Amino acid sequence: MDSKVNRRIVVAERPRYAVPTANVFQLESSPIPKPQDAEVLIRTTWLGLDPYLYGRVKHVSHQAQPVPLGDVMVGPTVGRVEVSYRSDFNEGDLVEGFWGWQDYAISDGSRIAKLDPELERPSHALGALGVSGFGAWLAVDRLAKVQRGETLTFGAACGGLGSMVGQIGKLRGARVIGVAGTAEKCRFAVEKLGFDACINRHAEHYESELREEYARNGVHCYVMAIGGRMFELAMPYFHLHARIAVCGLMASYSMQSLPDGPDRTMVLLNEINLRRLQVSGLVTLDYLGTPEQEQFRREMKAWIRERKVLPLEHVVEGLEKAPEMMQGLFEGKNFGKAVVHVAD
């Protein structure tokens, strides 16, 4: 690859189709930016991909503004300081931030942090120790408040978030039921990640199998990253005072219009009322830099060191592959946290 230019993947147009397609993004080249006084130049080494990022391409809410057309696509990143005109960063330092899909970035030091030197791999900063792991930890402990002996359920069981939700749930003593998109993933979730059950949502008897699992002990905790049909199936099995952590709605990100009627909003609200459910929204970025993050990091690093948590990664080679992998996330092509290796 030509290291004399800065390749940048920009948002070229708003999506016209359900799933992000190649035309939404465009690869551009520009000169490598030159840092000024008190700035650093960073060489991107890793990108982290997450379904929620697709929400930054579309207009999904009053609360989240999409990335302007022509701007570099945003996302969590890891890189190495190549030039530093700051006293707090040295050349060669590994740093993490949110500078997005480009080979090089300039920073004034305000939105980057040095990478934890104890990481086994730098990419863990994007997955197990990044927003995926931290989000899972917050969802399991703080929002879903999982207790020993309770049943915890979630989708994308081998995804970046789901694989962590299930493993943390097991460490907290819960019975853990995942849903995944292939028989292979389900086998892996049970055999390697230790989940109590994992149901393949493309299997013929998916719905009845999942209902059977739920019926064993009911559902106390639901970590939502997908939503949609799986959530509907869990509804009749919620215990009184069940907790639902809403981390994402992947099933809706790829929709161009709302599902057909009737409008079942009242059904959900009625169940919240009569089952005394607690439904809370989580945006992990809110917790960056909090004491919770320190506590999470200590705990997760120990778990990885002691081989109690397997940091599952799906590595894609090359910045230019990011758009394709982003699309792949919505097709269930990743097996673990999707990360893009941009440079060594």
Under 8 Å between Cβ of 44 and 1: no
- Answer yes or no whether residue 263 interacts with its own copies by CB under 8 A: yes
- Answer yes or no whether residue 178 interacts with its own copies by CB under 8 A: no
Q: Which residue in the set 140, 197, 233, 277 belongs to the binding site for its own copies (CB under 8 A)?
A: 277
Cβ-count burial 216-247 (b if 16+ within 10 Å, e if not): eeebbbbbbbbbbbbbebbbebbbeebbbbbb
Q: Which residue in the set 114, 216, 276, 305 belongs to the binding site for its own copies (CB under 8 A)?
A: 276
Query: 125 vs 224, which CB is nearer to its own copies?
Result: 224
- Answer yes or no whether residue 179 interacts with its own copies by CB under 8 A: no
Residue with tokens 């907790």: 243
Query: 216 vs 276, which CB is nearer to its own copies?
Result: 276
| Closest approach of its own copies to the CB of residue 344, in Å | 36
Query: 55 vs 122, which CB is nearer to its own copies?
Result: 55
| Closest approach of its own copies to the CB of residue 212, in Å | 17
Under 8 Å between Cβ of 154 and 224: yes
Query: 113 vs 269, which CB is nearer to its own copies?
Result: 269
Token pair of 189, please?
């979730």
Query: 246 vs 322, which CB is nearer to its own copies?
Result: 246
| Closest approach of its own copies to the CB of residue 149, in Å | 21
| Closest approach of its own copies to the CB of residue 4, in Å | 40
Query: 251 vs 316, which CB is nearer to its own copies?
Result: 251
- Answer yes or no whether residue 142 interacts with its own copies by CB under 8 A: no
Query: 3 vs 270, which CB is nearer to its own copies?
Result: 270
| Closest approach of its own copies to the CB of residue 165, in Å | 15
Q: Could you give the 3-state DSSP secondary structure of residue 104?
A: strand
Residues of span 278-317 touching its own copies by CB under 8 A: 278-283, 286
| Closest approach of its own copies to the CB of residue 271, in Å | 7
| Closest approach of its own copies to the CB of residue 52, in Å | 9
Binding string, 58-77, against its own copies, x = CB under 8 A? --xxxxx-------------
* Residue at 101: amino acid letter: W
Residues of span 220-259 touching its own copies by CB under 8 A: 224, 227-228, 231, 236, 240, 246-249, 251-252, 255, 257-259
The CA R_g of the chain, rounded to the nearest whole Å, is: 20
Under 8 Å between Cβ of 112 and 144: no
Within the chain, where are the H helices?
131-137, 160-171, 183-191, 206-217, 229-234, 250-253, 265-274, 291-305, 322-330
From residue 215, give the alpha-carbon distance in Å to each of 157, 199, 218, 239. Answer: 19, 14, 5, 11
The contacts found for 107-115 with CB under 8 angstroms, 24 or more apart, are 107/39, 107/40, 107/42, 108/38, 108/39, 109/38, 109/39, 109/40, 112/40, 112/42, 114/89, 115/78
| Closest approach of its own copies to the CB of residue 61, in Å | 4
Under 8 Å between Cβ of 123 and 313: yes
| Closest approach of its own copies to the CB of residue 240, in Å | 7
* Residue at 187: amino acid letter: R
Token pair of 180, please?
């995944």
Give 7's strand partners: 29
Binding site for its own copies (CB under 8 A): 55, 60-64, 224, 227-228, 231, 236, 240, 246-249, 251-252, 255, 257-283, 286
